[in-house]
Structure 1
Amino acid sequence: MKKWLLTSVLFATLTVLAACGSEEADSESGGLYADEKLVVGVTAGPHEQILEKVIELGKEEGLNIEPKVFTDYVMPNVALAEKEIDLNIFQTEPYFNAFIEDRNLDLVKSFDTVSFPMGIYSLEVKDIAELKKGAKIGLPSDPTNSGRALLLFEKAGLIELDPEKGINSTVRDIVKNNGDYEFIELDSAQIARQLEELDAAAINTNFAIEAGFVPSKDAVFIEPKDSPYVNHAAVRTEDKDDEIIQKLADLYRSEEIEKFVEETFEGSVIVSW
């Protein structure tokens, strides 16, 4: 009898230990949400505001999303590659492709989010046509945003570019400078702060809003609504099919978020779905 009881206790103990071990294994192999937390990197400004609303919706469905806010365009991808975050939302596809190729990062595009029309801003003039000859005009220094700004300047009638360069245009590809303008390349995050020293500048919408501008009202020239520069989420290649990513995508691209974006940003941020 005692032998049978001892055997039963031992069996029960081993069963419990096996179950615990199984739960640990499940946790370890449970994908991005194994620790019941999804860390999402965003840049400060509109992306951060939209994510805050997504977090609210996630809580209602029992999804725990932790934000990680960055103030530049480099660290969000580096942090993602180094597994400090699970996903990031802040960049356009041309920028993303150039960045991961340059850094040889194993990241992939996940889902489209919103677009931020780049605008030209000025404290000196109210109309782009009022810029004087020789005006100092700022633009982002990183290759992708620089090419985007130059295409915007061309659309505004300030310059003409080598037609074969497209988004890869640099200031050296300006074939006609209609006002003998001086183009000054600056860090994207710093341009709005240095606008007082410039006659005009191309500024990314998130930084413009952060500086207190309302792009749809304050820009003296802005990209059209059919701009191809849609922002998207990025993940590590190994996580691209994780089901938690699809859950986040569904939350982000919901009617509630669309309404929030339209009411909050008044046309300065455009949904892509």
Structure 2
Amino acid sequence: MKKKILFTSMILVGLLNAIELKVGASPVPHAQILEVVKDELKEKGVELIIVPFTDYVTPNLALNDGAIDANYFQHLPYMEKMIKDRGLKIKEIAKIHIEPLGIYSKRFKSLEGLKDGARVAIPNDPTNASRALILLHNEGIIKLKDPNNLACTTLDIVDNPKKIKIVQIEAPLLPRMLGDVDLAVINGNYAFQAGLSHKNALALEDERSAYANIIAISENTSPQKMQALQKLIKAIQSYKIATFIYKKYQGEVIPVFKIDKAAK
């Protein structure tokens, strides 16, 4: 009985002394994944506070300003571009998953049926626009000067046999544009939120994509916060979370970390 009381007391003391960790995240799938590890982290002395963001700019500014301790919403090329443009002092600490970019259409059942002069919507932020152009190149719709250039733009298109018209739209709005364009290149998380299945995509990125979603932190992270962050990463890069991702998202989201089945 005394041992039980002592154990309970130790847990309560641990909770009272928990390190608070604020992590900015997009609602889907990032915040959902973080929710799964909340209780586990609490038992390990980390109070995880999930701060939702619905855009691609504010989370990095908040991280740079110290308003949050980490963020989980973006891929590395996007973060690197923002660091270059804004002089941010942030860095990657872990790769978690990829949300395959897909080509969707309400008008065509295959890319072979695409007509001349078709309107194709892609994301308007620079890194996801480049990503979309590379996918269009890989599918033979356009030809880029260098398809390995992760900073390519529409100016790098050297051949456009079907004379498609590319329209750049804010990424979250792309699913709503499907009825107004011939094709839309949509990020996996926004496709999932809109009820679009990767099984209905006319083309998808594969796991070799350079666009794995990451956890980012400030370059000025304290040793205490770093310990808490390492616990967060260990909890996420686990068999439990890999299984959760596969079951919940059914291929719309794919873990990229190595799974330690012995730790399940």
Work out whether 1:224 is the aligned partner of 2:206.
yes
**1:256 corresponds to which of 240, 243, 250:** 240
Aligned residue number for residue 221 of structure 2: 239
Change (3 A) 1:231 1:164: closer
Structure 2 residue aligned with 1:177, among 160, 180, 190?
160
Larger radius of gyration: 1
Q: Which amino acid aligns with 1:272?
A: V
Structure 1 counterpart of 2:174, from 188, 191, 211: 191
Q: Is the 8 A contact 1:44 1:206 kept in 2?
A: no
Q: Structure 1: which 5+ residue stretches go unaligned?
A: 1-32
Asked if the contact 2:18–2:46 (Cα under 8 Å) also holds between the matched residues in 1, the reply is no
What is the number of equivalent residue pairs in this alignment?
240
| Structure 2: segments with no counterpart, 5+ residues | 1-15, 258-264
Over 3 Å counting, the alpha-carbon distance change for 1:34 and 1:102 in structure 2 is: farther
Runs of 4+ that moved beyond 6 A: none
8 Å Cα contact 1:110-1:240 kept in structure 2: no
Determine the C-alpha separation between the residues in 2 that align with 1:182 and 1:85. 40
| Alignment correspondent of 1:28 | none
Match of residue 106, structure 2, among 123, 128, 131: 123
| Superposed displacement of residue 42, structure 1 | 0.6
Between 129-138 and 163-172, the greater mean CA deviation after superposition: 163-172
Q: CA deviation at 1:266?
A: 1.3
Contact 1:165 1:173 in 2 (8 A): no
Once the two structures are TM-superposed, the CA of residue 34 in structure 1 deviates from its matched residue by 7.8
Q: Residue 156 of structure 2 aligns to which amino acid in structure 1?
A: D
Following superposition, the deviation at residue 202 of structure 1 comes to 0.7
- Matched with 1:140 is 123
Give me the TM-score of the superposition, normalised by structure 2.
0.86
Q: Cα offset for 1:268?
A: 1.7
- Percent identity of paired positions between Structure 1 and Structure 2: 36
RMSD: 1.8
Distance 1:68 1:248 in 2: 15
* Matched residue, 2:260: none
Matched, 1:112 2:95: yes
Q: CA deviation at 1:183?
A: 0.4
Q: CA offset at residue 77 of structure 1?
A: 0.4
Q: Are positions 1:65 and 2:48 aligned together?
A: yes
Q: Distance in 2 between matches of 1:46 and 1:73?
A: 14
Secondary structure, aligned partner of 1:168: coil
